[in-house]
């Protein structure tokens, strides 16, 4: 059972929101590796921090509709416990 | 051939059993030439970045399958 | 510690039922230059390298696990509905005899994963050069895998993974430059 009865993991909106989140997370990944070797690039740090905030909002919105993205205390769960719900990433 | 590939011409012997591949190629992708990435390089949009596998066009290396780069020639020279 | 995130790093698609390709893809699952070897190599090197580059090894090592999951997704999708006959025709008969459709850490030739794939010399420059070589070898493997399929969806995922090797290679080259800098020298801009 989903947090929202009108949405279903794997539906069109799920794919769209997931891909948008993957895109922002990918930029964060790239900036992260770049900053590991360029720790003094202030512009890149500013861009990174802005995207962290944007990412947080996008992930929250996704999780409200489709359940937790992370385990071990990093995402909220509805009732019943949603972590077990398919699809798992390799099943999508 | 684009700027990320180099070609070479292997020796062809009259005793080779198969029709020779006269031109062979290999890749020299951008990380070999950048050294240390400069700051403030132009960026892809987030979705473009995801699709290209990098945030920076300067680091992008498109790949063309070998089958489309190498052709087997006819006979021996 | 590590925390799992219930999404792939990149939207993996498999466009056609080609069991043969599953066997080849296993090179990047449990092969010498595969994603598992890469992840374990980098994370293990962290304990004996200067502090300045531990962050980079941690982050690239972590990303390699995301890539391992992408390869697993491709293999899973290609084999989950394959019949025993199809698996056998694709050269996976011996795999079926031992594992059914279970994924296993082995290379395309069926050789099981071994710790000898992981290099750890304890010398920072030797280890970083090893890492650069590992990225170039993985890039080459992705090229050969792209050559072996005409499924544009699989090619798309493999081209993404190949590009990641390019970026990782650059970062490791930069790490070498950082370690070459004189001790305590200040950077002026």
Interface test with A, best of B39, B46, B48, B49 (most A CBs within 10 A): B46
**Cβ neighbours of C55 (radius 10 Å):** 17
Q: Point out the residue among C147, C161, C174 whose CB comes nearest to the CB of B67.
A: C147
Q: Point out the residue among A22, A34, A69 whose CB comes nearest to the CB of C10.
A: A22
pLDDT at B55: 98
CATH 1.20.1260.10 at C19-179, yes or no: yes
pLDDT, tens digit (0-9, with 9 covering 90-100), for B30-47? 999 999 999 999 999 999
pLDDT, tens digit (0-9, with 9 covering 90-100), for C140-156? 999 999 999 999 999 99
Q: What are residue B24's DSSP bridge partners?
A: B8
pLDDT at C186: 56
pLDDT, tens digit (0-9, with 9 covering 90-100), for C168-186? 999 999 999 999 997 655 5
pLDDT exceeds cutoff 90 at C82: yes
Residue A9 tokens read as 């993991």
Q: Number of structural domains, chain A?
A: 1
Q: Does A25 touch chain C (CB under 8 A)?
A: yes
**Separation between Cα atoms, residue A58 and residue A49, nearest integer Å:** 15
Is A2 within the bounds of a domain? no
For residue A22, give every residue at least 6 positions away whose Cβ sits within 8 Å of its Cβ, in sequence order, or none: B50, C7, C8, C9, C10, C11
Which among C61, C36, C32 is positioned nearest to C46, based on CA atoms?
Answer: C61
When the pLDDT of each residue in chain A is averaged and rounded to a whole number, the result is 93
Is A5 within the bounds of a domain? no
Is A7 within the bounds of a domain? no
Return residues 128-147 of C near B (CB < 8 Å): 139, 142-144, 146-147
ipTM > 0.90, yes or no: yes
pLDDT, tens digit (0-9, with 9 covering 90-100), for A1-41? 445 555 677 789 999 999 999 999 999 999 999 999 999 99
- Spans of all domains in chain C: 19-179
Which residues span the domain enclosing A22? 12-69+76-83
Sign of the four-CA dihedral C1, C3, C4, C5 = negative
Is A42 within the bounds of a domain? yes
**Separation between Cα atoms, residue A19 and residue C66, nearest integer Å:** 15
């Amino acid at each position: 059972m989903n947090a929202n009865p009108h949405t279903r993991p794997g539906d069109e909106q799920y794919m769209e929101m997931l891909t948008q989140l993957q895109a922002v997370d990918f930029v964060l990944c790239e900036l992260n590796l770049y900053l590991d070797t360029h720790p003094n690039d202030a512009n890149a740090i500013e861009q990174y921090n802005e995207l962290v905030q944007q990412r947080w909002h996008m992930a929250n919105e996704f999780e409200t509709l489709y359940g937790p993205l992370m385990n071990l205390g990093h995402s909220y769960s509805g009732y019943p416990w949603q972590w077990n719900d398919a699809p798992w990433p390799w099943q999508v | 051939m684009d700027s990320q590939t180099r070609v070479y011409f292997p020796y062809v012997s009259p005793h080779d059993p198969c029709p020779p591949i006269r031109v062979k190629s290999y890749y020299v992708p951008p990380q070999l030439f950048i050294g240390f990435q400069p700051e403030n390089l132009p960026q892809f949009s987030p979705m473009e970045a995801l699709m290209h596998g990098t945030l920076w066009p300067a680091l992008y290396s498109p790949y063309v399958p070998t089958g489309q780069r190498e052709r087997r020639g006819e006979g021996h020279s | 510690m590590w925390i799992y995130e219930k999404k792939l790093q990149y939207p993996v698609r498999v466009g056609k039922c080609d069991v043969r390709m599953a066997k080849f893809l296993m090179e990047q699952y449990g092969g010498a230059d595969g994603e598992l070897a890469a992840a374990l190599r980098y994370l293990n090197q962290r304990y004996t390298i200067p502090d300045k580059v531990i962050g980079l090894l941690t982050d690239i090592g972590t990303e390699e696990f995301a890539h391992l999951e992408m390869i697993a997704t491709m293999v899973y999708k290609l084999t989950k509905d394959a019949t025993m006959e199809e698996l056998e025709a694709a050269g996976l008969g011996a795999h079926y005899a031992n594992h059914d459709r279970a994924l296993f850490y082995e290379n395309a030739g069926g050789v099981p994963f071994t710790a000898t794939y992981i290099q750890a010399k304890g010398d920072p420059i030797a280890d970083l050069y090893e890492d650069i070589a590992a990225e170039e070898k993985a890039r080459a493997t992705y090229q050969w895998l792209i050559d072996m399929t005409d499924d544009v969806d699989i090619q798309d995922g493999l081209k993404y993974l190949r590009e990641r090797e390019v970026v990782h290679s650059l970062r490791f080259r930069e790490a070498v430059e950082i370690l070459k800098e004189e001790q305590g020298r200040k950077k002026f801009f």
